[in-house]
A and B are shown apart, each in its own frame.
Chain A
Amino acid sequence: MTSQLWAKISPWQRWRERMVIRGLAFTAMVSIFTTVGIIFILGEESFQFFSQVSLKEFLFNTRWAPLFEPRSFGIWPLINGTLIIAIGAIIFALPVGLGIAIYTSEYATGWWQKVLKPVLEILAGIPSVVYGFFALTQVTPFLQKIFPNIEVFNALSASIVIAIMILPTIASICDDSLRAIPKTVRDGAYALGTRKSEVTLHIVVPAALSGILASFILAFSRAIGETMAVTLAAGATPQLTANPLVGVQAMTAYIAQVSMGDVAHGTVEYQSIFAVGLVLFLMTLAMNLLSQFIVKRYARKYE
């Protein structure tokens, strides 16, 4: 505010200045409104849901059958569906994503390195409905050749396309944290006579572990929140299973399924999607806070 001590400002100008800043402060408050709105909407409808369905049934029943009699509201089959897809996706994506990050940050050089990163980013820009289409029309028929008894809707094809979708997230965050390791650290290792792969695996990757872990958690939270590919490829049969070859229903797929049908506002089916949404929100929130915490707490500073 130093400038105002020197400049001659008319009261009108001062008033305008204040109004503009207040207006911009209001636009910034939209994010607070959005956060509060999400918590309020999810909380309010979930509250009504839990006045009809006990929390005990929701958390301890193992059958999810809200749309037909006899009804049952045990969340676990949906969580199981979400986790089996997300864990499968991470198992594919983590080694490949880390490999790509090591390649782009340590090995690739010149124009090839400059082109490689944006080209791989295209994978992140492709809409998820396209991945869903691809899973259904290309990945599943391919899997049917390998596993003849695989179902048309299965968790594995959803895992594969989600792995591709989250690859750029993992690759670009890992790439950044590998690049943040200073050259002196590498030179020190080279001076001891190590090979490049040994420097990378034994020195650089352990030093960048906090960033790698954060990318892993962030990608996992994205995989959990993914909707369209899961809805199209994994099916709509909520069940408790560890078999990736059968159809499962993820939390997001259930929410989408109910909202596509004609479910009236105020019914328990309608409220159930908000209860599921609340669980989804809390899971992704926990993941994101954890990844932020890891970056803050364990990031090493090199002077």
Chain B
Amino acid sequence: MNPIEGTIDSQSKSETAAGVKAGVAAGDEAALHPMFHNPRKLRLFKERFFYGSILLATLCALGFLFYLLFSIGAQGWEHLDMDFINNFPSRKPAQAGFKSAIWGTVWLGGMTLIFSVFFGVGAALYLQELSPKNRFTSSIQVSISTLAGVPSIIYGMLGLGIFVRFMGMGRSVLAGSLTLSLLIIPVIIIASREALKAVPDSMRMASFALGATRWQTVRDHVLPAAVPGIATGVILAMARAMGEAAPLIMLGALTYVAFVPSGPLDPFTAMPIQIFNWTSRPQEAFHDLASTGIIVLLGFLMLCNSVAIFIRLRWGRKL
């Protein structure tokens, strides 16, 4: 090794970014960062290696996604027929079906949609458009950002304590959908506020200039303009709620239900719960049923997501 390189190494180790600048200004090449002294081929190799590894990471994730979908599809495909959709769960795998779970999820979804849209969009309108800035609204903000990070099973404990026991709703569709609503209200508030923020201020100003009150402005102009964004957020939040099993299990919904709920106070089961039930049994035949259930559940969620994408493409960005 020649002596000049030696001095470069020892100097450059102590140099910081500021040192590099000063060194270059002084025309002193010795001050350069060590990374400039790698032989050209090594640097090229490092470049390619880095690119290769991040590409590999991305492809691994994609590959995992497709393998997951493919393996479940392959395992559950043969059971996917009308019997599976029309039969109730059974102890005999050959006769077991998904009917009560599908209808339970439909009931839960409908009622959760009503509660969460009412409270979530209402809160977003208040916080974004109508509220003064004071302690009250900032404490609401703090609680929303706190709630957004609370694990779903803790919402289940809240539902168990308040709706099932304190209010005496029992293990009903009503208690389940209220619990799921609480779970997704923070998500809906955050998404709706983003949508409302995107409505240009000129629209509000024009409405005020014509003598509209705050609420009239919000109701007739701001809210309609923000509906596509809000709808997208609501649908994505609903898809999340429909896939949740943990809070419903906390409510005690993991029971054998062989009927379709006929009212909000009936007991229920739901798709993720039934899948969990089948998965936790040791027999292979029930695992096959679980994978068929997963196909139905994922199909349902993907339908929700494609509706959200469609809304965004069709009505988004018109402002």
Which A residues fall within an 8 A CB radius of B?
1-4, 6-9, 13, 16-17, 20-21, 23-25, 27-32, 34-35, 37-38, 41-42, 45, 95-96, 99-100, 102-104, 107-108, 116, 118-120, 122-123, 125-130, 132-134, 136-138, 164, 167, 171, 192-198, 200-202, 218, 221-222, 224-228, 232, 252, 255-256, 259-260, 265, 273-274, 277, 280-281, 284-285, 287-288, 292
* B contact residues around A280 at 8 Å (CB): 151, 153-154
- Given known A-B contacts A3-B208, A31-B189, A130 and B146 have beta carbons under 8 A apart: no
Which B residues fall within an 8 A CB radius of A?
20, 35-36, 43-44, 46-47, 50-51, 53-58, 60-62, 64-65, 68, 71-72, 75, 118-119, 122-123, 125-127, 130-131, 137, 139-140, 143-158, 160-162, 165, 182, 185-186, 189, 208, 211-215, 217, 236, 239-240, 243-246, 249-250, 252, 254, 272, 275-276, 279-280, 287, 290-291, 294, 297-298, 301, 305, 309
* A contact residues around B161 at 8 Å (CB): 37, 41, 45
* B contact residues around A99 at 8 Å (CB): 53-54, 56-58
* A contact residues around B47 at 8 Å (CB): 195-198
**A182 CB → nearest B CB, Å:** 17
Whether A21 lies near B130 (C-beta < 8 A) is yes
* A contact residues around B240 at 8 Å (CB): 125
Whether B213 lies near A7 (C-beta < 8 A) is yes
- B contact patch SS: helix
Q: Which of B62, B126, B131, B254 contacts A119 (CB 8 A)?
A: B62
* A contact residues around B246 at 8 Å (CB): 128, 227-228, 252, 256
- What are 30 A-B interface contacts by the 8 Å CB criterion? A21-B130, A25-B131, A28-B123, A31-B143, A31-B185, A34-B185, A38-B157, A100-B54, A100-B57, A103-B55, A103-B58, A119-B65, A120-B58, A127-B272, A133-B279, A133-B290, A134-B71, A164-B64, A197-B46, A201-B50, A225-B152, A252-B151, A252-B246, A255-B153, A259-B156, A259-B160, A277-B157, A280-B151, A281-B150, A287-B149
* B contact residues around A104 at 8 Å (CB): 58
C-alpha gap A280/B254 in the complex (Å): 23
Q: Which of A8, A17, A164, A196 contacts B215 (CB 8 A)?
A: A17
